């Protein structure tokens, strides 16, 4: 009589727990099991941190070396996952996702010991019995929420930076790039200290469960809408955040560029805006402000550049839009722009393969969605302006971009644009390459990010 009652009670408890889980998932809330998994992972990492294990130079260096070895040894697996998720060609994966990450890791390893050393500072005369110094102290357990556009670089690089600072890390890869998410989990378990680094896969519910917990720092890369959710969750625990967002990064093309200078400017703009990751980059040039007298010269140069970069209708040589939802979004931005549309090649946009050809939109409606929302695709708009001051005003009236690009034959005029506007970073006569300088900080201002 007792045993069956015990068995029935256990079955009843299991059924109730399952029902509770299903009800939570149906309501869009993390299940108790999911919350417990996240809490267990965080507490385990916190115990590792409190043991002091992650503070030593030797441990930090070893983890960075393991990161480097991971990228060197797993090049084929990484390129295959990126091809599956994004249709990214191998050369682009090696250039942007593997090579850039390895360079940053080596920079960290070369400078780690110096960064860890205390910095002596002057002591006032009244306090001369003592001395003063600044020490960089690890925070604890860091949560890294990664995006889908560079799913491995932007998961592992912030994690490596947190580890270099002596912290434990939870990495939440993007569920949109599922092959890369699965690979990230397997690589971390194989190469890194499992007591200090965890990967938790999943979607919105898993991210919600993670954000309900208290962390010592949160690093989020993505869009502004989700960033507001992240920041609100962090505020409940007064957790500091690093938000790397994006926005509409403008290009100012000054008058007076020679034909060769204009051709070079177009190559540098369009290589990033159209051909690297199909423009799915947070610092991708989003729109061009050009002096009205040079508008047609610029458009002609851009069309020649498109033909040069995309000479054949070989869609396998370019990256694809990440999924059909984003393909629909980019297509709508173009179709509702109110401008004249030019596309490269003769291959049309194709939803099934998620292909959008490199596209220029000339003179869109300034109030159209394409001029209000980040494009995040192989599309760039061109708007004529009366002069540099009009371009500056146009930029000032909009949200602060993550990047600003100025192309001018006159350095003082270019510096005038930079000093008269706000942006996370600014580059004169080139695009995006400032990201390759490890000596520069990278981050936004206002709606394009904070906390770098």
Q: Do the beta carbons of residue 184 and residue 160 sit within 8 Å?
A: no
Of the candidates 146, 144, 142, the one whose C-alpha atom is nearest the C-alpha of residue 85 is 146
Tokens of 219: 């690093």
Cα distance between residue 136 and residue 55, in whole Å: 11
Buried b / exposed e over 208-219, threshold 16 CB at 10 Å, is: bbbbebebbbbb
Tell me the three state secondary structure of residue 387.
Answer: coil
Cα distance between residue 115 and residue 418, in whole Å: 31
Exposure on the CB side of residue 422, measured as CA atoms within 13 A: 13
How does DSSP classify residue 192?
S
Of the candidates 364, 411, 404, 407, the one whose C-alpha atom is nearest the C-alpha of residue 384 is 364
Tell me the three state secondary structure of residue 379.
Answer: strand
Tokens of 262: 């204009």
Among all residues, which ones are annotated catalytic? 244, 282
| CA–CA distances in Å: residue 313 to residues 42, 89, 298, 316 | 49, 15, 24, 9
Of the candidates 361, 368, 366, 360, the one whose C-alpha atom is nearest the C-alpha of residue 336 is 368
Q: Do the beta carbons of residue 265 and residue 256 sit within 8 Å?
A: no
Sort 93 into a burial class: Cβ within 10 Å, 0-12 / 13-18 / 19+: buried
Cα distance between residue 190 and residue 243, in whole Å: 29
Tell me the three state secondary structure of residue 370.
Answer: helix
Cα distance between residue 282 and residue 442, in whole Å: 12
| CA–CA distances in Å: residue 395 to residues 135, 282, 371 | 40, 17, 11
């Amino acid at each position: 009589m007792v045993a069956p009652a015990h068995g029935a009670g256990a079955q009843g408890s299991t059924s109730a727990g399952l029902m509770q889980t299903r009800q939570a998932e149906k309501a869009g809330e993390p299940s108790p099991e999911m919350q417990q998994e996240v809490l267990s992972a965080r507490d385990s990492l916190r115990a590792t941190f409190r043991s002091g294990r992650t503070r030593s130079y030797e441990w930090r260096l070893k983890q960075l070396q393991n990161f480097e070895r991971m990228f060197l040894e797993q090049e084929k697996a990484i390129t295959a996952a990126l091809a599956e998720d994004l249709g990214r060609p191998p050369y682009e994966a090696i250039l942007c996702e593997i090579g850039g990450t390895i360079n940053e890791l080596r920079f960290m390893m070369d400078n780690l010991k110096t960064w860890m050393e205390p910095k002596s500072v002057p002591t006032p005369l009244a306090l001369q019995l003592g001395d003063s110094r600044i020490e960089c102290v690890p925070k604890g357990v860091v949560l890294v929420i990664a995006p889908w556009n560079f799913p491995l670089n932007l998961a592992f690089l912030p994690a490596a930076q947190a580890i270099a600072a002596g912290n434990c890390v939870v990495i939440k890869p993007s569920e949109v790039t599922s092959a890369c998410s699965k690979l990230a989990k397997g690589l971390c378990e194989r190469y890194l200290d499992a007591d200090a680094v965890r990967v938790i896969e999943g979607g919105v519910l898993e991210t919600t469960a993670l954000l309900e917990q208290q962390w010592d720092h949160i690093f989020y890369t993505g869009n502004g809408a989700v960033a507001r959710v992240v920041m609100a969750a962090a505020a409940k625990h007064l957790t500091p955040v690093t938000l790397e967002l994006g926005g509409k990064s403008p290009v100012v093309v000054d008058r007076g560029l020679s034909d060769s200078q204009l051709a070079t400017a177009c190559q540098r703009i369009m290589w990033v805006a159209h051909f690297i990751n199909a423009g799915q980059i947070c610092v991708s040039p989003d729109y061009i402000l050009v002096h009205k007298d040079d508008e047609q010269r610029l458009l002609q140069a851009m069309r020649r550049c498109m033909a040069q970069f995309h000479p054949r209708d070989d869609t396998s040589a370019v990256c694809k839009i990440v999924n059909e939802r984003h393909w629909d979004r980019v297509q709508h931005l173009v179709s509702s722009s109110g401008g004249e549309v030019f596309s490269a090649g003769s291959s049309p946009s194709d939803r099934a393969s998620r292909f959008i050809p490199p596209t220029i939109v000339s003179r869109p409606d300034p109030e159209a969605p394409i001029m209000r929302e980040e494009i995040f695709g192989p599309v760039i708009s061109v708007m004529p302006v009366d002069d540099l001051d009009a371009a500056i005003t146009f930029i000032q009236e909009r949200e602060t971009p993550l990047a600003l690009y100025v192309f001018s034959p006159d350095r003082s005029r270019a510096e005038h644009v930079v000093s008269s506007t706000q942006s996370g970073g600014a580059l004169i006569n080139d695009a995006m390459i400032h990201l390759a300088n490890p000596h520069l900080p990278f981050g936004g201002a206002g709606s394009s990010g904070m906390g770098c």
